Amino acid sequence: MEDNLKKPIGKILTVWNFTKFDPDRPAIIAEAKREAEPYLAKGDVTNGWLTFVDVMRSHHITQDDVMLSVGTMMLINGKDDEIKEFINGFE
């Protein structure tokens, strides 16, 4: 298996990327992180995550990323302290 297929997401998950890499994806993720950061900096993890998801879902390239559902499940299960690390782990 090629090394570039295995991607760590923070310290908690590793995902396998079998989709073709889209050159616009890093810019979309950077935009989502930038929009979420003011909320996260204030400790408002819920709105930070929802903002991140909103930006990601507004682009056809990232709208169906399964990791958005995983992050939402983490938030629902009270993993607020791990959400910022999870967001920073997106590539």
Domain ranges of the chain: 24-88
Residue ranges, the chain, pLDDT below 50: 1-2, 5, 12-14, 16, 18
What is the model's pLDDT at position 8? 52
The 10s digit of each residue's pLDDT in 74-85 is 888 888 888 888
Q: List the Cα angle 50/89/47 in 5-degree steps.
A: 15
Contact predicate 68/57, CB 8 Å: yes
Q: Which of 43, 52, 44, 47 is nearest to 70 (CA)?
A: 52
Tokens (6 digits) for 29 = 């993720």
Contacts of 74 (CB under 8 A, 6+ apart): 82, 83, 86
What is the model's pLDDT at position 14? 47
Tokens (6 digits) for 24 = 């616009």
What is the model's pLDDT at position 7? 53
Contact predicate 74/86, CB 8 Å: yes
- The rounded distance, in Å, linking the Cα atoms of 46 and 4 is 31
What is the model's pLDDT at position 65? 85
